[in-house]
Structure 1
Amino acid sequence: MADTAVPAPPVCRACGTQYADARPDCPVCLDERQYLGPGGQRWTTLDGLREEGHSGRFEEQGPGVLGIGVTPQFAIGQRALLLRTAAGNVLWDCVPYLDDAMVRAVEELGGIDHIAISHPHFYSSMVEWAHAFDAPVHVHEADRSWVGRPDPAVRFWSGRTLRLTDEVTLINPGVHFPGSAVLHWSAGDGALFTGDVVNVCPDNRWVTFMYSYPNHIPERPEAVRAAADLLAGHRFERIYGAWWHRVVTSRGNEVLARSAERYLRFEQAGSVPGRG
């Protein structure tokens, strides 16, 4: 009898993106905003990661915010955030790995009502997560072509904002990727969740903007200016970046505004340290 088993969706080892079918290359890694390591294109699957001994990592990252990651670190070290809001749980960004223990842990916290993704580097295994929790995944229409595993759970939105609940709004600032998104949570003093669309620096008094972080390609000044103006219309005390414990803990609006001003100042022609 012929083997009719459906092959497991492949996962790129370099960036963590899961695809619907086997393919020779990973478009995310071929793009100049990402890269392939010296070993070239390599693939695995979720079962392969489980066999290698990966597991979930959970750490509180702020009030009502739980970080979810993978240990040992895999791909670009993606870290998701579970927001426990008054209208249900929202998973911000995603990770390439998922297992039964992680599903049980999240279910004990109330499951997931919405999944929202900042940009293609965090698509990872978002469809696996959507199926596990019966939750829609919100992706901006402008980045539709980057979705490697199309699925009815993926819902595309357009325009500058999408209101998910009374407290949670997605915003398209148009930096890093055309369909990039950040999430604003209006509860309390307000918080902005940015992935590395707006990157929280190791010195968390600052954020920055890049077209490509690994390849050190700066973002266009006009795009940074427009993004800063757009985000200034929302109130937030905290900014949650893409990596573990990269959090601006106070005066978020002020931090973003002066960081954008600094970026634009140094991007001006002839403006280099020690001159002008």
Structure 2
Amino acid sequence: MTMKKGLTVLLTCAVLAGSTLAQAQEQAYGNTIVSNKPHKQTTVQKPASAASSEVKPAAAAPQAQTAKPAKAKKEKPAKAAKKTAAPKQQKKQDKQKTTVQQSNWRLKVAQQKLNVLGFSDERPSGKMTQATTDALKSFQKKHSLKAHGELDDVTYRKLTWEAFTQKEGIQRVQGKDIVSRAAKYKGVPYVFGGTTPKGFDCSGYVQYVFRDCKATLPRLADEQALKGVFVTQRQLRPGDLVFFTTYLPGASHVGIYAGSGQFWSASSSKGVILSSLKDDYWKTRYYGARRVLVTNGEI
């Protein structure tokens, strides 16, 4: 090889080497090389790359913040719907439980009445059994009712009335006699716990009046409210008992219905007095009424 040819080869290698370095720099930094002037060879703008990396999170942040409220808005109604649905479902379940409890109580009462009347010797349980069905059919046939063995309203009312008439009610005492005797003690002062004409409380007064007529009642108002059969205000007859809620929940005051919307009772303020069911005080405290005299008739 000649000297001239050797120099040519060396120059060619140098040029190729320079091209390779430039290509390597482009591959490493891409478009970040902004100048190829000798005095700015160190101006590869890595900070610009860093700036770009800082901008991206900043741009992403508003998107994330915007997305969160939107997501929350979608979830909140769903949660609220679940909360709304839960009480409704619970209320329905409670209603079903109440219905079952009431029907069991009513059936248990019916079973007691069937025992009283001699149609069954089964122990009252509140559960419908074959023995109860058979007893109901027998009772229904005897009283010319549809003998399906089920405890419908007609059967229940007739059953309670027959038990009341034959075994549980007060016989032979007339309502007018009860009312006449009640009026006899007009003006007797009120005495808490009183059971004599020297001083009565409400239930002591009612018990004493019935005892005067050879009829027996329990001592306390809430006990008297369990006797007899339920009657509405429209069904009231003289001698029926009327109950009110006063100083205690439930039947805490009792009187004797006198007719024409009036009743006798021992009031704490005026003693034994004739009052009206229409008076604001008694009207708002009315609790219910019971028929304890068989002679007052079937409801």
**Shorter-normalised TM-score: what interval?**
under 0.3
- Could you tell me the TM-score, scaled by structure 1's length? 0.24
- Could you tell me the TM-score, scaled by structure 2's length? 0.22
Higher strand fraction (1 or 2) = 1
Higher helix fraction (1 or 2) = 2
Which one has a bigger Cα radius of gyration?
2
